[in-house]
Structure 1
Amino acid sequence: MLLRNTIMFKKSSWEHLRIPFSYYLMPVFWFGLSYTTQASVYNILAVGIILHLFLYPSSNGYNSYYDKDEKSIGGLKNPKKVTKGLYYLSLVFFGLSLIGALFINVAFFLMVLLYGLVSMAYSHPSVRLKKYPYLSWLTAGIFQGAFTFLMCVIGFQATGIDLLLQTELLFPALFTTLLLLGSYPLTQVYQHEEDLKRGDITLSLRLGKIGTFYFASLWFLVAGAAFIWYFINIDKAWAIPWFLGATFPLVVYFLYWFSLVQKDQNLYTNHTMAMGMNQVSSTCLNFFFIYYFFAQ
């Protein structure tokens, strides 16, 4: 039975993996790379492939299977009905990410395993972190931010868990979480109807549509100030104009979107605007962190 379900994958199952969506999570990878010393090209490529082609798609597919969304989700405007094959496919991708992680070292393997298990708990009905507004917000911010940053650095350098004790890495790791604490509720703002139907009281639902934007703007300000303080503190003030310039399009798009939502909440809190926000923010941050990596 398992063999039949893992072979007879439908096209819809592959679509629900949403592999292109990994692009939106790539800034953390580049930021982690900028704090890496003595990393081989092999390790850099391996970490990039394991995370973006296997681990993240596995999480996407697993959560899609249990969410069973009928309307737009991140990376899919018109999601097709999920099948049992998606469940098995997501587990296959998770298994491949774990096998790949073992080729780097045990520490990286354990972090990939923990990330995968937490992402499963996000949607699995026995735990379903998603239905707890503040816990899911913190979990997503920490694991997609700080935890992933540290996981990348450990994978790049093939070092042990003791690296987590280095305070110089904890600050940049924390700041990636600050960015995600602002952007995470915006990914929920167009899904209120679906979430209510399932009984998932997300943070965006708790805040309301307008409140979500005020909440996100507060955390974006905190994150921006934290990055500026950090660059000054580590004697890299030269990066501040580049950071501000790279994030300027993000600020413009956010304010434009917010102005539209204030005119008509129901019309403009939609999938198209939310994905546009993701595209602009990920592109801006990818540009900056890649530049920051090469300019040091």
Structure 2
Amino acid sequence: MKAYPYKRLSGAVSLRVTAVEVKVPGESREPLETSAFSVVEQVVALGRVDQDDWESARLKLSATIPARATEPDSPWRDVSVVAVLTEKATNARTVVRLESRTEGGREWSGSLDLWRADHLDRAALSVHVIATVDGVPGRVIATSAKEWIVDLASESPLRQRELDVIEVGFREGPEWLRPFKDVPWVVDTSGDVPVVHVNVDFEGITELLGGTGASVEGLVRDLLIAQMCTDVWTAVFHTAIGDLEIEDDGTPLFPQDWRGEVLREMLPDVVPNRPLEEGLREVHRRRTGTSGWIDLQPRIHFAATRRADVPKALSTTIRGLDRHHQGNDA
């Protein structure tokens, strides 16, 4: 919890994206369908844009702040509301001032232009309430609790990115996959989204993964998928923790893409009962130090199996096989 040497504004500050328009060179702005952004997930998916050569997107914004901010007896003066779009991967930062739309100063609105050339992957959008406090201008007295995500690649407005699964023959497929021709799948974490390459040359794997229902094949399929997900969670954790940006004082920083999401999700199980920042420092210290990294491997495996629902899948398979055997005996 941060401490501030001045009076802060209590209460919720909310931000909403109410519409999205895209601009193609030589054409007027065209609105995107409302399915391109989700007020529940608080994500804008610009991968839905049909034109490949779009150059900018205009986000129409609406913000609500506590009425106390603009009351005559409040300790704040010259209250303003700004929206800030940032992306750490490119160091891009755009700030726009919103305009008050109601007499009481609760509702504010405006628009922000995102230029495609300035961004790479995912940008974070937040709103801040600025005021003069004790004669000092430019104080941040409140911030929206949850950032919106503006995703330049995704076609679905989902906060958690979906796993990409590609079926390919390893024997005669891409050169880098050929050494793995005897395994059923390989996890690739080098791209913007983790990818599972399923080896269709592995006998029976395609039919098994495509099975459904409560049959024995269906039970084995669910268990197999749980094992695949365990491999994915393990691989992405090791990738994320092995590619951290480090500040000058040695403090590791959370990545801004899916790697940061993975670390925030798994660290509470890898280093329990620690704040996220402290847990990240501890894991980084053990990985780069002379000892302790091996001791963390069971915790990492535990965190991966929990998120892959391995205990549930295994219990369901055991009960299903038991019922199947009982049916055969009868």
Normalised to the residue count of structure 2, the TM-score between the two structures is 0.23
Structure scoring higher RCO (CA < 8 A, sep ≥ 6) equals 1
Higher helix fraction (1 or 2): 1
Which of the pair has more CA radius of gyration? 2
Normalised to the residue count of structure 1, the TM-score between the two structures is 0.25
Higher strand fraction (1 or 2): 2
